[in-house]
Amino acid sequence: MGDLDIDNYLGSDPASDIIQDIISGSRRHKVLCQTLEAGLFEEIETFRGPVSSADLARKCHYNHDVTERLLNTLVCLKLLEKTTSTDGVVGYKNSTATTRYLLRSKRPSMIACCMSEAAMVLPALDNLAAVLKRGTSEMFMSAMEGMARNVPFTGGSLLLLEKILNEDKDGPWPCISMDLVMAMISKGRERTPSEYSTLLKKHGFSNTQIKSIEGCNYYDAILAKKPF
């Protein structure tokens, strides 16, 4: 067997894994959105326990083979849990994440977040090549400034909920990706802690406190105070 006997490691090129993970990310999001569109998680919830792929397909008038493949895909994505009963019947039920955030009857819900990503955020990125050449539009920022200009603010505390860039401006992902999306539609941008401190100080705020919130979320907390 030659080299295989000397080196037992078999695996893909880690450099290609980075690219493949990006490509498959869009596939994961599409599967989630289509599953939400179909109302599949609600259908599973009605069984109040693990349901077989055959029973689910029968109830929803789905093709059994495609249903089973989708259910196994959702298990891989940790959106469903897979069980086997004592008599060997394989069943599926919603995972904790799905039950907590992906049912229309529950609040808070992340369904709108999932769907708006597909409806608004991703289409905005279709303009990336054009925006690289012409720059961003000032229309959005002009509208925001017009609404805020006549609002007096003579002192007090200001709480900002924004995801904060690291000082090197290369992460975290939720923030750096939204920074790029903002470049597609406005002159707005995400900022680092030092940039927020400088901006707030320019407008009379002091004692800026920044609290980073761990996890895949869209917000960190910034508290600044302005003397009356």
Last residue of a domain, one of 66, 81, 101: 101
* 3-state secondary structure labels for all residues of 123-166: HHHCCHHHHHHHCCCCHHHHHHHHHHCCCCCCCEEEEEEECCCC
Q: What is the dihedral of CA 18, 23, 29, 30, to 10 degrees?
A: -170
The answer to the question of residue 194 being in a domain is yes
Q: According to the model, what pLDDT value does residue 6 have?
A: 52
Last residue of a domain, one of 42, 70, 101: 101
Tell the burial category of 219 from Cβ atoms under 10 Å away from its Cβ (0-12, 13-18, 19+): middle
Q: What is the CATH number of the domain that holds 48?
A: 1.10.10.10
Residues 21 and 97 both lie in one domain? yes
The answer to the question of residue 84 being in a domain is yes
pTM of the model: 0.76
- Report the candidate in 152, 156, 132 with the shortest Cα–Cα distance to residue 226: 156
Q: According to the model, what pLDDT value does residue 228 have?
A: 83
- Report the candidate in 78, 83, 90 with the shortest Cα–Cα distance to residue 53: 90
What would the pLDDT profile of 59-95 be if each residue is shown by its tens digit? 999 999 999 999 999 999 999 999 999 999 999 999 9
What total number of domains does the chain contain? 2
Amino acid, single-letter form, for residue 181:
V
Spans in the chain with pLDDT lower than 50: 1
What would the pLDDT profile of 107-132 be if each residue is shown by its tens digit? 989 999 999 999 988 898 888 898 88
Q: According to the model, what pLDDT value does residue 29 have?
A: 95
| Full residue range of the structural domain in which residue 218 is found | 151-226
- Cis check for the bond before 108: say yes or no (omega within 30 of 0): yes
The answer to the question of residue 143 being in a domain is no
Q: What is the CATH number of the domain that holds 160?
A: 3.40.50.150
Residues 87 and 160 both lie in one domain? no
The answer to the question of residue 193 being in a domain is yes
The answer to the question of residue 146 being in a domain is no
The answer to the question of residue 122 being in a domain is no
The answer to the question of residue 200 being in a domain is yes
Residues 155 and 96 both lie in one domain? no
Q: According to the model, what pLDDT value does residue 38 have?
A: 96
The answer to the question of residue 69 being in a domain is yes
Last residue of a domain, one of 101, 126, 161: 101
Residues 20 and 96 both lie in one domain? yes
Q: According to the model, what pLDDT value does residue 43 have?
A: 97
Q: According to the model, what pLDDT value does residue 143 have?
A: 61
Backbone angles phi, psi at 165, to 5 degrees: -70, 150
